[in-house]
Amino acid sequence: MLPPILALHIPDGFLDIPVSTVGWVLFLFVLAFALRQTRQQFGERQTPLMGILAAFVFAAQMLNFPVAGGTSGHLLGATLVAIFVGPWAMVIVMTCVVGIQSLLFQDGGLLAMGFNIVNMGIISGFVGYAVYSGINKLLHNNPSAQLISAGIGAWSSVVIASIATALELAISGTSSFALALPAMAGIHAVIGIGEALITVAALVFVRQTRPDLLEANAPTANTGSRWIVVGLVIALLLTVVSPLANPNPDGLERVAEDNGFISKAQEPAYTLLPDYTVPFIESEIFTTILAGVFGVLVVAGVSLGMGKFSEKKQISGSDHTEQTASS
């Protein structure tokens, strides 16, 4: 049985070794720079947000929605994350999500994980955030402008990430760019509409319930932690309905089938919780829910831990400055 292919999760076999190596180098370079940036800029506000956003994106990516032509899609979420915590913290969140999807659930290949994170996190997030920021500024940064900008940014992030994937497939010799580009961009232009709607809906919900989370300098750390629990519960509830996800092939899988390179997908080197299931649990519904709950908790914990690491670094530097001044 071929490994599952979801959205832009590239399986091993689609990219050759040199291209995969470039993906890992790019990913590690940007991640190292992102960790450095967050150590300099991070505060208590972003730490819990990172965990909740990682949990939400992971859970939302389990929910495929139908699009045209018997194809399905799901949220990437990088633009949404960047709007809340900034593009550098977004890199850390998306690394946690995509990395754990690959390592625990065999969703995307190990060799291809570098470009999976580059495509779905770095390219998608930075493009979406740049479009969002630019349009929002042009429209004078009012509430309506924020939603319009977020929708366009989210849509753009999916399309540009799909074009990057097509280029990587072409360089690897898996499919010609002339075939892969219109196929990938065409399908993901439609999937991007769903990304835009979900992103805007999430922003509307947060604006109605906790508008301070959208303000850069809001003192959310002093206003209670109930919103953290609520956010985690929402993510867990998404996993409960995940068995209802649309079963049609997703964007990359559809392109691979239509263009005859689906057979290049390699089975994973090992399996832990393959295809979001727990071994030895026969119920399809229960095994999917349990795997999703486990994934949400792991992703939230890892992302929160990385946020705490950055926060502690910042506090340590502040204490050192105070001690130097006092002496």
Sign, CA torsion 227/235/294/93:
negative
- Per-residue pLDDT at 235: 94
H-assigned helices in the chain:
17-41, 46-60, 78-85, 87-105, 113-117, 124-138, 143-171, 177-209, 226-240, 251-258, 284-326
- pLDDT tens digits, 211-253: 888 875 444 444 456 778 888 999 999 999 998 888 887 889 8
At residue 17 the predicted structure's pLDDT band, cuts being 50, 70 and 90, is very high
Q: Per mean pLDDT, which range of 68-72, 85-89, 311-315, 318-322 is the poorest?
A: 318-322
Query: Can you read off the two tokens belonging to residue 115?
Result: 């470009």
What is the C-alpha to C-alpha distance for residues 101 and 104, in angstroms, rounded to an integer? 6
81: number of CA atoms within 13 Å, CB side? 36
pLDDT above 70: residue 20: yes
- Per-residue pLDDT at 226: 78
pLDDT above 70: residue 206: yes
All structural domains of the chain: 17-126+212-317 (1.10.1760)
Query: Do the beta carbons of residue 95 and residue 78 sit within 8 Å?
Result: no
- Per-residue pLDDT at 224: 52
Greater pLDDT, 147 or 324:
147
At residue 316 the predicted structure's pLDDT band, cuts being 50, 70 and 90, is very low
Give the rounded percent of residues in the chain with a pLDDT score beyond 90. 65
At residue 117 the predicted structure's pLDDT band, cuts being 50, 70 and 90, is very high
- Per-residue pLDDT at 300: 94
End-to-end CA distance of the chain: 67
For residue 274, report the phi and psi dihedrals to the nearest 5 degrees: -65, 140
24: number of CA atoms within 13 Å, CB side? 12
User: What's the mean pLDDT when you consider all of the chain?
Assistant: 87
Q: Per mean pLDDT, which range of 119-123, 178-182, 215-219, 313-317 is the poorest?
A: 313-317
